[in-house]
A = this chain, B = another copy of it.
Amino acid sequence: MNTVEVCVSTELFKCYDSKGKIVVVVDVLRATSVICTMLHNGVKEIIPVKSIDEAKEYKDKGYLVVAERDGKKLDFADFGNSPFYFTKEVVEGKTIVYSTTNGTNAITVGKDAEQVVIGSFLNLSTLTDYLNHQAKDVIILCSGWKGKFCIEDTLLSGALAGNLIGLGNFYTKCDSVYASMDLWAIAKDTMDTYVEKIAQKHRLKKLGLDDVIGYCFTLDTTTVVPILRDSRIVSFDKYK
């Protein structure tokens, strides 16, 4: 039996022991949904970077750069952070540098673990299957919003943890897992209205960027498992 835990904010990750465990990074609105989309459409690799300066340096070297802060595309970047930009025509075979407000921070926070993989509603079933076969302890790391708890990442955590426990090979003693599963149980059949509680939904709406919400909450549109290898996110091939 393996354990599953949920960490509700990157700021709390230091309270967890990630040694030998798989960390699943979650930023439903929007980084990890975007990453799954890019991988699904054949991007070669994604280089997640924390700081704006690093992203700029890559831009100066000629890389394609996706960069946003507080939802808005940064001036020097090639793209903002909507999954709709990253069609097969745009990303196939490319290397993309990626820096966002919360999600890319979470990816770099988690990189001392045995593995770092990327979770979203888009790859939920494939990710469940992947983790179940890996047979290692799992920490689901919510990106949150500037360190604070956020609902959307917690809902995905509840869905994923519930899947893993339901398959019989995982157990938990983690309060955040129980809370996440209970919230997902409330929300899952009423997402159209439940989404109104999500602060990030309203932030995106103010920016005219909330057209992505329905897309980011759609289950199982892809079978990719994005995984961090040598500080780059690539597709774990077996599950491609």
Query: Interface on A for B, CB 8 Å cutoff?
Result: 6-9, 11-12, 14-16, 145-151, 154, 173-176, 178-179, 182-183, 186, 197-199, 202
Contacts and interface: CB of A to CB of B under 8 A. Distances in A.
- What 9 pairs across the A-B complex have the smallest Cβ distances? A15-B147, A178-B197, A151-B175, A149-B176, A150-B175, A8-B149, A15-B148, A175-B199, A182-B186
A174 B198 CA distance: 8
A11 B7 CA distance: 12
B147 A175 contact: no
A151 B175 CA distance: 6
Contacts of A12: 9, 11-12, 147-149
Contacts of A151: 175, 178-179
Contacts of A8: 8-9, 149
Contact of A149 (B150, B173, B175, B197): B175
Contacts of A7: 148
Contact of A179 (B11, B16, B154, B202): B154
A174 B199 contact: yes
A175 B198 contact: yes
A173 B202 contact: yes
A62 B222 CA distance: 67
A137 B3 CA distance: 39
Given A146-B15, A149-B12, A179 B176 contact: no
Contacts of A186: 182, 186
A110 B123 CA distance: 40
A176 B199 CA distance: 10
A193 B174 CA distance: 16
A179 B15 contact: no
A6 B12 CA distance: 16
A220 to B, nearest CB: 25
Contacts of A176: 148-149
A179 B149 contact: yes
Contact of A11 (B15, B145, B146, B183): B15
B148 A175 contact: yes
A197 B175 contact: yes
Contacts of A202: 173
